[in-house]
């Protein structure tokens, strides 16, 4: 992976307002990581021929990011400008997505079209991010996902794949919480006195496009001291990540999920883990999926009693053994 954040952070003054570093990994295109020396803001630039048609960009702008073109004497520069440096981690993921997708582009026109397709996807993603802090239920959901992520990171055989497999905020918004190949894993977290599995919509337990689907439920109780908080599990995860590049990747994914360090004071509520349940979501598992619903019915939420699926409880290590085979 191109460490574009490292390039930004190591820019040195050149006497120019915009300091640019060509991204050599994309050899057939003129792509640059750049920094505004006056404001300290970061940007991504693609320089193309004047023959390349670039559409009106007003519909591509979104929170914290400005997109515009500069018409120069011999070329046109497409600028994607980060306005809010607090979003640096998520912005780096956004630019990485562009670079990954344009690598196979043959022409400049194709690269521009591909870039704007990625921008459109990320605009939808940014529109869904909660920049005003996470609700208590959102905090619980994120704690659950990070508990499972740490379960993977704690085993050196999976550490390289764990962050890529954390897919709960993927662009299509219908991804499982964790995905590896054709295996999907949904994570649930409850602090209810009577543990149950709460399903948010008909897509969560749909096994379409997956050879196997598992569900993990963390059953907890709220405590005043010596528990797990969202802040503590975030810091634990950061400690489990070995490289600065992977840490940047993780921090960007946190921001996609709506977690920003500036809101830490609100995320101190603690929980004690009582039990971890794991289930194989087979045809015998009670669930509602899209194909079951009448036309016009959607976003169906429901709850499943643990007692109704006790015969489908498995050892979490069985999920891990499937994981290791990929």
Mean pLDDT, all residues of the chain? 89
Q: Does pLDDT of 163 surpass 60?
A: yes
157 with 279, same domain: the answer is yes
pLDDT of residue 173: 46
Question: Which of 6-10, 138-142, 180-184, 287-291 holds the top average pLDDT?
Answer: 138-142
Using CA atoms, how far apart are residues 29 and 47, in angstroms rounded to an integer?
8
252 with 106, same domain: the answer is no
pLDDT of residue 172: 55
Which residues in 37-195 belong to E strands, given as ranges?
42-48, 65-71, 76-82, 178-180, 183-190
Q: What share of the chain is helix, strand, coil (3-state, %, to 5)?
A: 35, 25, 40
pLDDT of residue 5: 85
39 with 188, same domain: the answer is no
106 with 158, same domain: the answer is no
169 with 284, same domain: the answer is yes
Structural domain harbouring 156: 136-324
Domain boundary among 128, 148, 179: 128
Domain count, the chain: 2
Residue with tokens 């840490």: 247
pLDDT of residue 161: 78
289 with 259, same domain: the answer is yes
Q: Tell me the percentage of the chain whose pLDDT exceeds 90.
A: 60
Number of H helices, E strands in the chain: 8, 11
List the single range of 161-175, 196-210, 211-225 with lowest mean pLDDT: 161-175
Domain boundary among 128, 146, 175: 128
Domain boundary among 128, 146, 164: 128
| Secondary structure, 3-state, 92-128 | HHHHHHHHHHHCCCCCHHHHHHHHHHHHHHHHHHHHH
16-54 confidence digits (pLDDT tens) = 999 999 998 998 999 999 999 999 999 999 999 999 988
Q: Does pLDDT of 159 surpass 70?
A: no
Query: What mean pLDDT is predicted for residues 218-245?
Result: 94
Query: What is the band of 325 on the pLDDT scale with cuts at 50, 70, 90?
Result: low
Query: What mean pLDDT is predicted for residues 77-93?
Result: 90
- pTM for this model (two decimals): 0.84
23 with 81, same domain: the answer is yes
Task: Give the β-pairing of 270-280 and 65-71.
Answer: unpaired
108 with 166, same domain: the answer is no
- List the strands of the sheet with 183-190, edge to edge: 178-180, 183-190, 212-223, 270-280
3-state secondary structure of 10: coil
Domain CATH number, residue 67:
3.30.1460
């Amino acid at each position: 992976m191109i460490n574009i954040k490292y390039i930004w952070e190591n820019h040195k003054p050149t006497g120019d307002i915009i300091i640019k570093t060509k991204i050599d990994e994309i050899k057939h295109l003129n792509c640059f990581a750049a920094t505004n020396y006056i404001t300290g803001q970061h940007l991504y630039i693609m320089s193309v021929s004047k023959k390349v048609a670039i559409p009106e960009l007003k519909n591509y702008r979104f929170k914290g990011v400005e997109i515009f073109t500069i018409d120069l004497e011999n070329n046109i520069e497409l600028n994607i400008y980060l306005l809010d440096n607090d979003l640096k981690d998520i912005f780096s993921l956004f630019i990485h997505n562009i670079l990954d997708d344009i690598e196979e582009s043959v022409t400049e026109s194709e690269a521009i079209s591909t870039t704007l397709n990625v921008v459109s996807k990320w605009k939808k993603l940014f529109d869904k991010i909660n920049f005003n802090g996470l609700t208590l239920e959102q905090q619980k959901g994120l704690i659950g996902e990070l508990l499972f992520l740490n379960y993977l990171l704690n085993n050196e055989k999976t550490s390289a794949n764990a962050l890529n497999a954390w897919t709960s905020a993927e662009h299509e918004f219908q991804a499982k919480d964790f995905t590896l190949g054709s295996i999907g894993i949904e994570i649930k977290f409850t602090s209810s006195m009577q543990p149950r599995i709460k399903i948010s919509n008909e897509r969560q337990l749909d096994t379409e496009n997956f050879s196997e689907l598992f569900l993990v439920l963390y059953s907890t109780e709220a405590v005043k001291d010596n528990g797990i908080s969202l802040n503590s599990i975030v810091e634990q995860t950061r400690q489990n990540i070995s490289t600065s590049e992977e840490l940047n990747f993780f921090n960007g994914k946190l921001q996609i999920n709506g977690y920003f360090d500036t809101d830490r004071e609100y995320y101190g509520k603690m929980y004690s883990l009582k039990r971890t349940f794991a289930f194989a979501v087979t045809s015998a598992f009670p669930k509602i999926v899209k194909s079951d619903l009448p036309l016009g019915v959607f976003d169906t939420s429901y709850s499943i009693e643990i007692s109704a699926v006790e015969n489908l409880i498995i050892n979490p290590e069985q999920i891990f053994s499937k994981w290791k085979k990929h």
